Amino acid sequence: MYTGFLHVHDTLRWILLLSLTITLLKYLVGWLGNKQWKKSDNVLGIVFTSLMDIQLLTGLVLYFFLSPVTKLALSDFGAAMKNADLRFYAVEHFSMMLIAVVLVHIGRAKSKKIKFDRKKFKTAFIFFFIALIFMLAAIPWNRL
């Protein structure tokens, strides 16, 4: 079961990054090109946010129930903090990805309330881009 969830989590990462890249490009063009916010722009935000939520759920199942790495880290947290690999999964990956999810939700909520299209694109772009930075920093690139 652990391996299956890990594969889902890994595959979702690439789908999520593709969705985010498309969304960021569309929002940047909308912001800088002073475009009109369309239903398709809203759908992009919904799809990306939903993918983030699914990724969060699979990550939480791995973190709290299935991962032998986090089980080991949580069994002796003090020792885990002295081991870079254990610390990465127990604290750094979890924290930065959680921050990214929160940023995406804040950006989505704030942009929905804005009436002016250019500012809507700008707000969503900025929050989603900062979330991307956290995500890229927290991806375990050595496991690719």
Query: For residues 27 and 128, is the Cβ–Cβ distance under 8 A?
Result: yes
Could you tell me the pTM of the whole model? 0.94
Residue 127 identity: F
The length of the chain is: 144
Spatial neighbors of 4 by CB under 8 A, at least 6 apart, are none
Sorted by where each begins, the domain ranges of the chain are: 2-143
CA angle centred on 121, ends 117 and 124, rounded to 5°: 135
Q: pLDDT tens digits, residue range 52-111?
A: 999 999 999 999 999 999 999 999 999 999 999 999 999 999 999 999 999 999 999 999
